[in-house]
Amino acid sequence: MTRSNAAKSGFLFVVIASVLFGTTGTAQQLAGIEVSGLFIGAARQVVGGIALVILVLALGEKQLWKLFRTKNGILAAAGTLIYQITFFIGITNNGVSVGTVIALGSAPVFTALLSRFVLKEVIQKYQIILFLVVGFGVWLLLIGFDSQLEFSFGLLASLAAGVGYAIYTVNAKALVSAGVDSTTALAVAFGGGIPIAFILLAVGDWQWLLAVSGLSVALYLGIFPTALAYFFFGKGLRVLSAATVATITLIEPVVATLFAIVLLGEKLAIQEVAGIAVVLTGLLVLGQLEHRRTRRVN
């Protein structure tokens, strides 16, 4: 497969992962559980991490336990745990819309900066421009011009989620660049945080998992928008830059909105339609430019 075709496939893989990510909020609402985001994130980390570890062991990976102890493995696991927990804390305190915008909107910025220093990735001008375009579309979709951000614990938690995302994405990319299979790299990122996430559940609120709805949503969040999603995410991360991958995942709130319309009966305002159009247009252009750039390299 040529590099340009690999880039197209990688772009598609990250879009598939983002579609799975976008089901998270709807799944929680349909389950109707009321529990702190801290414990939802911890449960998702445990289930998703175990699922990924089982998958790579079943595929015959022999170096998994060794990779857990590497610098990139430890940092990837730490970043994943930070992201999972602070993302849900952020949306619990800020509301889903604001929390999602801050976390996902800041993630590509932190990822680009970290990848520049750690991976020596060169950030192209078009990547910066299209990130701003797509970010503006996400803002239109979820917040609009009427809302004002206030400095708060929730705001800090959502920004911490963006930092956590950057840490695990860049360090997983570093593992992949060193020759580690992409699924294994994500298994290290999620599996390494299992002990701490399990302790958080054990000493905190775990009783909600005894209910059918609670257990069902924990299993769903861990298997589909985590293990399966990050399987595809890793395939994309193998051939695309960390910054590009982070920008593509901004399609997640578009998917979440469409699921909310179909399954929860929500309605779209004109500004939200405009936001969706801007996001999709920006990502379409990004995909075309990435394809052209890899063709020139070939």
* Per-residue model confidence (pLDDT) at position 231: 94
Does the residue 159 lie in any domain?
Answer: yes
pLDDT over 90 for what percent of the chain? 46
CA 76/CA 74 separation, integer angstroms: 6
Residue 110: domain span: 9-125+148-252
Does the residue 295 lie in any domain?
Answer: no
CA 220/CA 198 separation, integer angstroms: 17
Does the residue 140 lie in any domain?
Answer: no
Does the residue 279 lie in any domain?
Answer: no
Which pTM was predicted? 0.88
Average pLDDT over residues 261-279: 85
Does the residue 4 lie in any domain?
Answer: no
Does the residue 282 lie in any domain?
Answer: no
Tokens of 23: 């089901």
* Per-residue model confidence (pLDDT) at position 255: 87
Does the residue 258 lie in any domain?
Answer: no
- Count of the separate structural domains present in the chain: 1
Average pLDDT over residues 84-89: 82
Looking at 3-12, 74-83, 187-196, which range is the least confident one?
3-12
pLDDT at 150 over 70: no
Does the residue 163 lie in any domain?
Answer: yes
